[in-house]
Amino acid sequence: MSHPVAPYPPNLTWRRIAPRLFVLNQVLLVVGAFSLHATEVLSPQQPQSLGLAYYFTWLQCVGMVGLLLTANAMLLVARNGWRTMPDAQARYDREGLYKGLPTRTKWELLATTLACLLAGSWLSQQIFIAIQTSTWGQAHLSQAYPPFKLTLFNATYGTLSVYVFEYFQDRAAVTEARERKAHKLTAETQLHLLRSQLDPHMLFNTLSNLYELIDDSPQQARAMLLHLIGFLRSTLNGSLVTQHALADEFKLASDYLSLMQIRMGDRLRTSLLLPDALQGVEVPAMLLQPLIENAIKHGLEPARQGGDLIVAAQDEAGQLVLRVRNSGARKHGTTSDSHEAKADQGGFGLRYVRERLENLYGEAAQLERSHHPDQDITEVTIRLPLATTPKHAA
């Protein structure tokens, strides 16, 4: 279970939120006191002038009780909701503080707020009456008691104002964090692309095999050289664009797998399945490449007998479904847990693809990983909306 620090979002930390709420609370009550007093002064039908001190003291009671009672109760309910929620950190990063709350917690928050508004209005009313009847109150405040309905209205208005302010504050924070993550992922993508283009190990093995094939099989050597040129060109193009046609993505996969077959020979058996109707569909550039690399590195290459690798695209109920399936992950110590862990150690792999999809599509995209021990097959499935353009640059 992954939780935000605390283990709830930082905006639910009282020491962090209290100064902002206190300042907003004081601004609201000062504006409210002057507004009520101005209405009183400008209204010729007002039978009694209660005075600015009266409104200020009354609203101060309403605001401070609301801050101490209603705000604290709402924080406690929201904290409890985040504590008991699985994958809290991922949900908070994706949806924010309020939208990310479970439906049950939202109803609990609403019920708690209503109860606190009623109790807080009555309590602030009693506090204000006690101040009125004190020596200071009798000397400086009018002795007219404010109606309970008006106290409840002001408490509700203040609570809604604070909630709206905090909601947009949270949305702004989520948007800023999402943009920072998108920039970070962009930098990681460019770094990975550069490493793919200039990987000395891959280039050395490829060129070494090509050198051996020049005399024995010059036709095969020329074919492999064309694949190497195509792979380098595709990775360069992928580093310059945010998305491209699915046909380009499969072309990159084809060139890369052809190069890997130089190293693995008959141990690597591949199949690329792309229907004609999906070739022009736009997808994020280099989306499948880390999945294919992981499948070879952690599943196929360690196996003496090698295995099969299938990359397929399908249109399922208006969704673009991409699958990368490989065999041989279980027999050589790369279980489903260690496989993903190894992929994540380098800061790329499955974790990177998942975060990239969340930033581009939000909840509209899904990444699933499954292992079938009876067949010793590992499969990664990506589901994307066919008609939706990513919201951010990759």
pLDDT tens per residue, the chain (394 residues)? 444 445 666 667 777 778 888 888 888 888 888 888 788 777 766 556 788 888 889 888 998 898 888 888 888 888 888 777 777 767 777 777 777 778 888 898 899 999 999 999 999 999 998 998 898 988 888 888 888 888 899 889 888 888 888 888 777 777 777 777 776 666 566 556 555 544 555 667 677 777 777 877 788 778 778 877 877 776 666 555 677 889 988 988 888 888 788 777 788 888 999 999 898 898 888 888 888 888 887 778 777 787 889 999 999 888 899 999 988 654 433 333 444 434 333 335 677 788 778 877 877 888 988 888 777 788 899 999 886 545 544 4
Predicted local distance difference test score (pLDDT) of residue 196: 54
Q: Are both 300 and 155 inside the same structural domain?
A: no
Domain count, the chain: 2
Q: Residue 199: its pLDDT value, please?
A: 54
Residues 6+ positions from 84 with CB-CB distance below 8 Å:
none
User: Where in the sequence is the domain holding 36, given as residue range(s)?
Assistant: 10-177
Residue 53 falls within a domain, yes or no?
yes
Same structural domain, 169 and 203: no
**Do 162 and 109 share a domain, yes or no?**
yes
Q: Is residue 339 part of a domain?
A: yes
Contact 378, 368 (CB under 8 A): no
Q: Of 318, 238, 325, 326, whose CA–CA distance to 283 is shortest?
A: 238
State the Cα–Cα distance between residues 378 and 372, nearest whole angstrom: 6
Verify that 91 and 212 share a domain, yes or no: no
Judge whether 317 lies within some domain: yes
Give me the pLDDT at residue 387, please: 64
**Cβ 61 vs Cβ 111: under 8 Å:** no
